[in-house]
Amino acid sequence: MTLRRATLLVSAALLTATPAAAAARPTPTMTPAATTAAAPSTTNHFITNLHGAVAAPKRIGYTVFDSGSSSAQVAALPSGVRAMVWLGQKCPTKADAAFRSTVTRLASSRKVFAYYLSDEPHIADCPGGPAALASRANYVRKASDGRQKSFVVLSKVEDFKPFRPGITHVSMIGLDPYPCSTANPTCDVDKINQRVAAATAAGIPVGRVVPTYQAFGQGATTSHYYNLPTVTQMRAMMARWAKVVPTPPMDYTYGWGHQSSSNPTLVDSPGLQSLFTSYFSG
């Protein structure tokens, strides 16, 4: 099943008014209760599906917020937080005048960290996607003099080789082997090793891989397959990601608020929020 990221265009009013993989082969499954995750090596902690939330995610330690592309939305982000600007397409097209205009307008902003260019594109449906992404990623790099980054998420192993950075020139590649589901009620963290090994074998450098923490389930949806991890299970997930991707450029928590395909989420779990707060603080 493919979960699509909802395009979140958070208005400046909402933002200001809100109150409050490197392993060559799989390693044996860890016992979650005995697993302690080391402090993350990156300070870029991305959270999506905010639905206007600001205070709580920032307090937890998230430093990269899902954002729309208006200058007002970016400027309204709180101090210490940068934007991941959503300019995404399921099947990417080449950089056009509208794309270039948006990036040019934001290229000098120190509050823009990166641009989310595509969420789970598939080469079978989008054979021109890799070349189109290259035109977009190249323009981001040129317009910002290399200060800003580009980001995509890949879900299928068959997409890893055609969408590898050597072809697309994308700065960061998110991998989302969600390990917690009704098929794996104890959470199969070996999926993380397997996905990272497949990515590196396909030519995706481990230093460009973005770990994706599964902070959602589907227990309150009509198609329940994924489970919201427990605190113990999330701790095991963090430790495994840290083992196979020790120095990521960013990590990504999916996600904060509800979607039709993801409910419950991080907003529903004080325990997970406390764990992320402790993890990000080192």
Domain ranges in the chain are 44-280
DSSP state at residue 153: E
| Range with the poorest average pLDDT among 2-11, 33-42, 117-126, 236-245 | 2-11
Q: How far is CA 96 from CA 36, 133, 165, 246, in A?
A: 47, 12, 21, 36
**Cα–Cα dist 10/240, whole Å:** 33
The answer to whether the beta carbons of residues 260 and 49 sit under 8 Å apart is no
Q: How confident is the model at residue 275 (pLDDT cuts 50, 70, 90)?
A: very high
**Cα–Cα dist 237/212, whole Å:** 10
CA angle centred on 207, ends 236 and 64, rounded to 5°: 70
The stretch 14-36 carries a mean pLDDT of 39
The predicted pLDDT at position 8 comes to 43
**Cα–Cα dist 155/157, whole Å:** 7
The stretch 138-160 carries a mean pLDDT of 98
The predicted pLDDT at position 22 comes to 36
Report long-range pairs for 26-33 (Cβ below 8 Å, ≥24 apart): 26/190, 26/193, 26/194, 26/197, 27/190, 27/193, 27/243, 29/188, 29/189, 29/190, 30/189, 30/236, 30/239, 30/240, 31/236, 32/186, 32/187, 32/189, 32/232, 32/233, 32/235, 32/236, 33/232
pTM tops 0.75: yes
- Residue 142 predicted with pLDDT over 90: yes
Percent of all residues in the chain with a pLDDT value above 70, rounded to a whole number: 87
Strand positions, DSSP E, the chain: 45-47, 64-67, 82-86, 112-119, 149-154, 172-175, 209-214, 251-254
CA atoms within a 13 Å half-sphere pointing along the CA-CB vector of 62 = 27
**Cα–Cα dist 273/177, whole Å:** 21
- Residue 27 predicted with pLDDT over 70: no
Smallest CA-to-CA distance from 127 within 91, 95, 102 is with: 91
The stretch 160-164 carries a mean pLDDT of 98
The predicted pLDDT at position 40 comes to 87
**Cα–Cα dist 86/49, whole Å:** 11
To which residue do tokens 């991080």 refer?
266
Smallest CA-to-CA distance from 86 within 66, 104, 110, 112 is with: 66
The stretch 150-178 carries a mean pLDDT of 98
Q: Can you name the CATH fold of 44-280?
A: TIM Barrel (3.20.20)
The predicted pLDDT at position 37 comes to 64
- Residue 126 predicted with pLDDT over 80: yes
| Range with the poorest average pLDDT among 11-15, 185-189, 204-208, 272-276 | 11-15
